[in-house]
Chain A
Amino acid sequence: MFDSTSRSHGLQRPHGLQRPHGLQALAERVRPVAASRTRLLPALPPIAALLPDGGLRRGSVVRCTGRAASSLAMAVAAGPSAAGSWCATVGMEEMGILAAAGYGLDLERLAMVRAAPGEWAVATAVLVDGIDLVVLAPPRHARPAAARTLVARARERGAVLLVVEERPGSFFAELELVVESAQWQGLADGTGRLRSRRVTVVARGRGPAVRPARQELWLPAATGKVVAA
């Protein structure tokens, strides 16, 4: 299709670059498609409902806070991981690997980094170089300068930085995922066991066009997965 136009264009009007023709038209046509497909890391359907783009935007920072933040972070990471992305964790030494596997993280593409107290930022900076999704539990009083550097670096490298905190700290996140309420089910007075937890997650974006989204989830459902409630 572009062959004939580009050819005549090339042969007869080598300087005529007023309008995109041929390959440039192709590039224009392909670009938004390629970008929208590849700029986003996929999310599991119940999580996608919370994300303004339906996926995790490369180069962005997403923060999970509140009770169940760890579980929420795993459920968020499960989408890219299941789709083949590498994930790494920093400062998440306590992350339950069984739970992570239950949410859908691919353990074969998961690296857990133990960084000494002064090295978490360096470790994160190195990881965003080649790992699609880095889950970071920063120290409580992370230096704002270090946070800014990491945000810029994640943006530059196209990685998603998933910050897990009990309450919002130094990082500037494009998207805040807050667990507003969490209710365990299945446990009673001396009988039963923890089976599932119903949570309300609210997503707040920084952009003016982004409306807050709210989603009821089983986090986890009895199966160990994340399911829309």
Chain B
Amino acid sequence: MTEPVPPRLLLVECPGLEAPDEDDGGLHLRRFGRVVEALSSVCPWVDAVRPGVCTLPIKGPTRYFGTEEAVLVRVAEAVGEALGPFREGGRDGEGDVGSGDFRLGVAEGVFAAVLAARAGAVVPAGETARFLAPWPVAVLSDPELVEVLVRLGLSTLGGFAQVPAADVLARFGTRGIRAHRLARGLDGELSGYRVSGMGARLVAALGHALALQDLQPGFWGGTSAADERAGEVLTALQRRLGTEAVTVPVLEGGRGPADRCRLVTWSPVVARSSPASSPGSSSAPGRERKGSRRKASQAPLEPPWPGRLPPPAPARVTVGERPVEVLDRSGVPVGVTARGLLTAEPERLSVDGGLWVPVVAWSAPWPVEERWWSTARRRAARLQVLTADGVARLLVTERRRWRVEATYD
């Protein structure tokens, strides 16, 4: 047989997703879309044939992964992962019309690959006609033709394939020839099997672009797929909530917890090219601070803190103003002297006019001079305070007012 045969395909069939119910809100189609998406990590040329059925050429991925078995394992993993959350048994998995099931098959052409998946078979190259031979002619899905064939005693594809093509043409016309070619393993798929516009339907169901056959080659890793997926979601969210609503953090130099990181509006470009600068990269070398002298005299065991907040960093950085009153034993507000000392020991505090809480421990204040280079200089001091309720806060005082800068939640 010298006639060319269709390409050898790995076919993935998800029986539970084959008949998408229009009332399910596109759920089955979305699930199938995720299967297709997952497969694009194995091979960039996934062909969505119809709902629940897709194929990919096995040759290229085999070259990449080494063996056909390796490709099959990868595919089974990818499909299992894509269907994973829904197949879990127990809670609501088993009753789920088996939408988590899938079958794999390898053969030349979609028609044979469908049967291979049904049989769970990997048909070696060039063996497709032999594989097809024992199947009943009913699989040709042409009742009229099948009825005649069976009456003629041609009950299997193999038997039908033995009939000379000229006789088939004379008796059954072009429709018969098409079926004959399928039976001989020379044609790809049953007419009417393929559902057109699958790509667009999947994109609509998923709500984002889908990497179907036009995907860039070299798209092997799952990581960049996840990045792209996240990017699409974030972009969608920006459309919904406004661009400013989605931000990504960037670390920078600075002294306070709020100064040392910046939120920048997310954009796909930012996300790819934002090397978070190392937290220590822009400490201010050579900047002598008044505070370090004070520190040296008062707490010699501590490393000098040139205005920088010592680690560990607080888990919550206050957004907006949160005033605090800090009182000493006799009810007098506690302040910080020009030399950076507390005027008295703090005894209790009240955040935002709330209940008074006893102070159980506190640090020495460390003065911070912000913007020393500008005329708008501002002198502040920070203090870590632990209250009886177990909450540790970072307070900052400026112009005799205390506020909560951060909470060590």
List A residues at the B interface (Cβ < 8 Å). Answer: 1-3, 6-7, 9-14, 17, 20-27, 30-31, 33-35, 37-39, 58-59, 67-71, 74, 84-86, 88, 93-102, 107-116, 119, 122-123, 126-127, 129-132, 155-158, 182-184, 187-197, 220-224
Residue B190 lies at the interface, judged by CB distance under 8 Å to chain A: no
Contact of A38 among B77, B276, B384 (CB under 8 A): B77
Q: Which A residues are in CB contact (< 8 Å) with B328? A: none
On whether the beta carbons of B409 and A69 are closer than 8 Å, the reply is: yes
The tally of residues in B whose CB lies under 8 Å from a CB in A reads 93
Q: Which A residues are in CB contact (< 8 Å) with B119? A: 6, 9-10, 13-14, 17, 21-22
On whether the beta carbons of B85 and A71 are closer than 8 Å, the reply is: no
CA distance A31 to B384 in the complex (A): 53
Take A23-B72, A30-B76, A99-B312 as given contacts and tell me if A191 and B245 are in contact as well, using a CB distance cutoff of 8 Å: no
On whether the beta carbons of B241 and A102 are closer than 8 Å, the reply is: no
CA distance A20 to B119 in the complex (A): 9
CA distance A131 to B232 in the complex (A): 10
On whether the beta carbons of A86 and B227 are closer than 8 Å, the reply is: yes
Q: Which B residues are in CB contact (< 8 Å) with A27? A: 76, 80, 102-104, 120
Most buried by A among B77, B124, B279, B315: B315
Residue B361 lies at the interface, judged by CB distance under 8 Å to chain A: yes
Nearest chain-A residue to B385 (Cβ)?
A187
Q: Which A residues are in CB contact (< 8 Å) with B223? A: 84
Nearest chain-A residue to B206 (Cβ)?
A129
On whether the beta carbons of B103 and A22 are closer than 8 Å, the reply is: no
On whether the beta carbons of B310 and A193 are closer than 8 Å, the reply is: yes
Segment at the A interface, from B126-134, B159-167, B349-357, B369-377: B126-134
On whether the beta carbons of A130 and B233 are closer than 8 Å, the reply is: yes
On whether the beta carbons of B248 and A130 are closer than 8 Å, the reply is: no
**Can you add 20 more A-B contacts, CB < 8 Å, to A67-B390, A156-B86?**
A1-B69, A3-B124, A6-B122, A10-B123, A12-B134, A14-B119, A17-B119, A23-B117, A26-B76, A27-B120, A59-B88, A68-B315, A98-B260, A101-B313, A102-B312, A111-B248, A122-B240, A130-B230, A187-B384, A194-B363
Q: Which B residues are in CB contact (< 8 Å) with A97? A: 249, 251, 261, 317
On whether the beta carbons of B361 and A187 are closer than 8 Å, the reply is: yes
CA distance A95 to B263 in the complex (A): 11
B residues 12-29 touching A (CB-CB < 8 Å): 27
Return A138 CB to nearest CB of chain B, in Å: 16
Q: Which B residues are in CB contact (< 8 Å) with A224? A: 311-313
25 contacts between A and B (CB under 8 A): A9-B120, A17-B119, A20-B120, A22-B119, A23-B117, A26-B69, A27-B103, A67-B390, A68-B315, A68-B409, A70-B315, A88-B230, A88-B234, A93-B319, A98-B314, A99-B314, A100-B249, A108-B248, A111-B246, A114-B246, A130-B208, A187-B384, A192-B363, A223-B311, A224-B313
